[in-house]
Amino acid sequence: MGRNDDDATALRDLAGLATPMALRVAVTLGLPDRLLGDGRPADELAVELDVDPVALELLLAHLVTLGVLERTSTGYRTSAYGANLRVDAGNGLADLLSLDTAGGRAELAFVELAHSVRTGRAAYPHRYGQDFYRDLAEHPHLRASFDRQMTHRFRADIPQIVAGVDWSLFATVVDVGGGEGGLLAAILLAHPGMRGHLVDLPPTAAGARRTFSAHGLDERTEVTAGSFFDPLPAGADAYVLFDILHNWDDEHADRILGRCAEAAHPGARVLVVEGVGGLRASTASDLDMLVIFGGRERRLDEFRALGSPHGLVLDTVTDLTDHRCLLEFRLTAG
């Protein structure tokens, strides 16, 4: 076999859908969680799951090939490697891969990538008939899985963000679209004199209240259940946008920054924390944002252009984590 044949084989393997879909279906069926101990026979499992026994056997065989499962004298069991796909593995993979969660459902929109490339628009509504966030609003189980996914996704980066920003400069901080409050709670715990206000949609805002209560922060926090497209709490020293703008096209990102600018007092800061094209963002993440949301990982000149109409000047750019930068905007006098 020549070099060209090897290259073709490698490209075919990269393009194949059997393996990624097998992993997603395995997680959706809960196979890594069900096949513990000495293992179980496929026919018994098929009855329990109400699936076709022949088709299930084909799936199990491929999972063995991948090393996710292993054969035993009594059937199939999850390998040590495959245990990373269990719900209790603590790595967030189950929420990301299951077809019944927001993450797994969203990634299926990649089958419509050609639509996004042709139009520049998100593929998610093209596939599902409505945008990602409206889908979450109509399906509480998707919203709950998305909140879990975001909490896990940010957990490793929060200590670096708390340490990498001089939060002592701000007496009051508004976390715009702050999720279930993990970042804001960490900032406030590190700075006992600071007060915080979190804004997010009602189900997520309820989770933030629970987070603040669990950390004894009720006296120093407020939570507003609402959208960042509506007027924001006014007069804070800093407005934080953590992984927010890249989820939106230019029109909506402009509206979000506009709300921050109109709420801020003179001398306040708008702190954008996310990947930056050409600095701390991957090409794969760019496609994720495009396909799911119609957004992208913007470059610095694009951030400057977004801020300028609102009197926001990009002052500093700081590398915070492997994947995120801090972009600090100051509000010029109007």
Catalytic center residues: 246
> Are the CB atoms for 276 and 327 separated by under 8 Å?
yes
Q: Which two tokens stand for residue 219?
A: 């006296």
Nearest 5 degrees, angle CA 278-CA 238-CA 232?
A: 100
Quick one: which of 327, 184, 312 has its CA closest to 246? 327
> What does the alpha-carbon distance between residue 66 and residue 313 come to, in Å, rounded to a whole number?
50
| 94 to 35, 97, 132, 255, 320: CA distances (angstroms) | 15, 5, 19, 34, 27
Q: At what angle do helices 202-214 and 140-155 cross, to 10 degrees?
A: 40
> Are the CB atoms for 204 and 140 separated by under 8 Å?
no
Q: Which two tokens stand for residue 18?
A: 């059997």
> Are the CB atoms for 197 and 172 separated by under 8 Å?
yes
Residue 196's φ and ψ, nearest 5 degrees, are: -135, 155
Q: Which two tokens stand for residue 324?
A: 């995120």
Tokens 């796909």 -> residue: 85
